[in-house]
Amino acid sequence: MDVCVFGAGAVGGYLAARLAGCGRHRISVVARGLQFDALRTGGLQLSDPQGDLDVSFAAVVEVAADLPPQDIVFVTLKAPSLPAVADDLRGLLRPHGFAVFVSNGIPWWWNHGLDPPTCQVMRVDPEGRLRDRLGADRALGCVVYSANQVVAPGKVVHQANNRWVLGEPDDTLTPRLTTAVELLQTAGLGAEISTDLRREIGIKLLRNAAFNPLCALTRLNAGDLAAAPDLAALAQNLSDEVTAVMGAIGWPLPPFRIADVLGSDGGPGARSTVKPSMLQDAEAGRPMEVEALVGQLQQFARERDLRIPTIDAVYALIAGLDAAVRRQGSIF
């Protein structure tokens, strides 16, 4: 098969290295900037406790149109970058090809297959570009638990976790879903199928909506934040409001305690030193996933007259930090 990883950052680099390392398919990468230069000239070096890899790719391009049509495209770009590549993705897929969106937070395809729709998702797809130009019928969703960091152009370190939960937007079990999961499993990735992916998204949001913005605002890693009593209490309030919002729109979530999330794998254990993605983005001067992780939840709540004072306050702060980062680059 022809398989493309669109976006070769931390998670995308790890995914691309694992797919290329199994040697069974033609793996291409869409990358930009220094990462593009490094991957094109020297391949990608992955440092991983499961085994280091040094891989090259069938093609490394900056422009998606330079690739031939693909059977599967794994889209690992952050949510703010997705609407701008809707046409690129549509042009990159073969007639029966599909895209797997490996993303955090509420996805742009959330309403697909829901009758009636939960609510508008204008925070994550403001002009409906992904909905209208690509279409959710060409998409799979993926909730990923995998901590990685680009330590230098062409060099990715895998720090913890290897769980990839895939599902159809309409929650059906399809041959293409099975194909994607088997492909990841062959590459040594812990892939599994979900027929209720929105619940899986909500479960991850319990942690992501709490830790990501607060770590970016304080510059603390996840473990240090959880170990600070006042900040841990604030994070717990955020998670409790996520639970309330998700329950109000029809997806009740299991109990969640910030005190149980000291380990990097999301369970009890040694204090995590992992930097959540928002903190990495703020330090690097990149736009953050504010709307997907916090803003869309706020919109869900407002459409149901649900009070979420902690989400409202944190959203205002993290949106302000994101605006500063977009205007002037890293402010740290």
Q: 78, 155, 204, 275: which is the annotated catalytic residue?
A: 204
CA distance 210 to 123: 19
Angle at 33 between CA 274 and CA 83, to 5 degrees: 80
List the alpha helices (DSSP H) in the chain. 10-22, 33-42, 86-92, 129, 175-186, 197-218, 222-226, 229-248, 277-284, 290, 296-302, 309-328
Cis peptide before 83 (omega within 30 of 0): no
Kindly state the helix (H) or strand (E) to which residue 101 belongs, with its residue range.
strand 93-102
Is 155 assigned a catalytic role? no
DSSP-assigned beta bridge partners for residue 141: 101, 167
CB 30 within 8 A of CB 5: yes
CB 325 within 8 A of CB 277: no
* Structure-block tokens of residue 208: 């992501």
Catalytically annotated residues: 204
